[in-house]
């Protein structure tokens, strides 16, 4: 069964990274964690056109460096390996050599070209990667294939797995895009402590895929925040293996926009799943900004509001304190006229043309208490551009989780 969206994109029930043709995935326990799955992989039957975007943190972890180098050679990836519990970050020359060895062992195990292997790690920073345990995981690759196990193996403080797959038509062929992600804390615009992997059976030009990924990332993964921290290991990878034999997709293909819309949909849904699963979170917060002078301005205002700890705690406490929203808009350093701004909590208007409106405080409190997704609507009335950002409330549990992260 599938759910049809307004843009004729079918969302598959229980879709995964293996929903597109020609992909397998799995996850095992190799000993990095006490008992939970901690090593996963995705494999394509053939080398796939690949694109990636990465954290802007100056401390880029060894596996990220290795993957960037491999992707830069011929823009093809066939196998991806991921471990959780250990980030292999800030581990110096040995960490880099360990990431290269991880790549080499996986290539030998799966009988693929070394530079066609992507590696990723997530977990505690500054601890050497236990290579004997990594070797155990690699030795078990392919023994079992289960996308759900892959999704579990990449988690850290996440409370749920995050996955989706969609289908749509191009050149009369049914094309599928699947995705999986992890992320719960250290989440902030310009990437975060998150990993996201997407697969498609479309034939797509690698350079065009790279440009499309940059564009959709700026409107999805770069528009979420949990706590304002940006990590060292984060990446988004997309693999297109061409199993459906459509005419090669690029910017000149008449249905290129259909593909981009589907990629945007998958990216946005995964991003929202990450934000909703923020450490200790009870609410997903969606900030919609319209009437901005530029797309960039709209995005910066939305990010300022979604990043405000005062806004996040107000949502957690069900306090309809619109002053915190206006304050965040004001320090976004974007062009605006304070005498024009309008703000609503869902359907409840609280500010019009820069002035407070009388509203039922209890109605506002009930809206914040009763809805798992809280929408904050801001109209700047200063142009024609809009943007949306996502985040979560900030709770006591966030402090508890991060006060004892390494224990």
Cα torsion 112, 115, 116, 120: sign: positive
Range list of H helices, 220-319 = 256-276, 295-307, 309-316
CA distances from residue 80 to 25, 212, 233, 240, 284 in whole angstroms, order as listed: 9, 21, 15, 13, 30
- Under 8 Å between Cβ of 175 and 168: yes
- Cα-based angle 80, 84, 89 (whole degrees, multiple of 5): 90
Q: Which helix (H) or strand (E) holds 47?
A: strand 39-54
Closest CA to 180 of 168, 201, 202, 165: 165
Helices (H), 52-189: 62-74, 92-110, 131-139, 147-153
Q: Which residues on adjacent β-strands are paired with residue 117?
A: 79
Which sign does the torsion angle of CA 166, 164, 32, 65 carry? positive
Question: Which residue in the list 55, 156, 193, 217 is annotated as catalytic?
Answer: 193
Q: Are 121 and 233 in contact (CB under 8 A)?
A: yes
Residue 193 is among the residues annotated as catalytic for this protein: yes
- Answer whether 27's CB lies under 8 Å from 182's CB: no
| Burial label, 96 (beta-carbon count in 10 A; 0-12, 13-18, 19+) | middle
Q: Using an 8 Å Cβ cutoff, are 285 and 312 in contact?
A: yes
Point out the residues that are catalytic.
Answer: 193
């Amino acid at each position: 069964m599938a759910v049809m969206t307004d843009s004729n994109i079918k969302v598959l029930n229980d879709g995964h990274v293996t929903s597109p043709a020609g992909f397998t995935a799995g996850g095992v326990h190799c000993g990095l964690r006490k008992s939970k799955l901690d090593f996963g992989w995705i494999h394509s039957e053939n080398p796939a056109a690949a694109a990636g975007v990465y954290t802007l943190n100056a401390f880029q972890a060894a596996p990220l460096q290795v993957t960037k180098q491999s992707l830069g050679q011929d823009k093809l990836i066939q196998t991806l390996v991921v471990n959780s519990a250990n980030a292999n970050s800030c581990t110096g020359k040995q960490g880099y050599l360990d990431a290269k060895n991880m790549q080499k062992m996986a290539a030998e195990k799966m009988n693929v070209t070394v530079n066609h292997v992507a590696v990723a790690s997530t977990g505690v920073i500054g601890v050497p990667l236990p290579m004997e345990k990594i070797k155990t995981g690699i030795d078990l690759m392919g023994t079992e294939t289960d996308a759900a196990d892959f999704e579990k193996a990449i988690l850290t403080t996440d409370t749920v797995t995050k996955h989706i797959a969609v289908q749509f038509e191009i050149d009369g062929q049914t094309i599928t895009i699947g995705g999986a992600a992890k992320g719960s804390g250290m989440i902030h615009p310009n990437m975060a402590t998150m990993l996201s992997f997407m697969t498609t059976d479309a034939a797509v030009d690698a350079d065009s895929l790279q440009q499309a990924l940059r564009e959709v990332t700026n409107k999805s993964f770069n528009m979420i925040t949990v706590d304002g921290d940006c990590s060292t290991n984060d990446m988004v990878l997309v693999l297109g293996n061409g199993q459906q034999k459509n005419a090669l997709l690029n910017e000149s293909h008449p249905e290129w926009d259909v593909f981009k819309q589907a990629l945007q949909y998958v990216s946005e849904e995964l991003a929202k799943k990450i934000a909703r699963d923020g450490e200790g979170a009870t609410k997903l917060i969606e900030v919609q900004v319209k009437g901005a002078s530029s797309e960039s301005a709209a995005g910066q205002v939305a990010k300022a509001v979604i990043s405000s700890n005062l806004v996040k705690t107000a949502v957690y406490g069900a306090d309809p304190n619109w002053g915190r929203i206006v304050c965040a808009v004001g320090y976004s350093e974007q062009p605006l006229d304070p005498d024009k701004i309008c703000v609503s909590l869902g359907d409840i208007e609280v500010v019009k043309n820069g002035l407070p409106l009388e509203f039922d405080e209890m109605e506002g409190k009930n809206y914040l208490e009763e809805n798992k997704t809280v929408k904050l609507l801001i109209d700047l009335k200063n142009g024609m551009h809009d943007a949306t950002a996502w985040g979560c409330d900030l709770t006591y549990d966030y402090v508890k989780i991060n006060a004892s992260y390494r224990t």
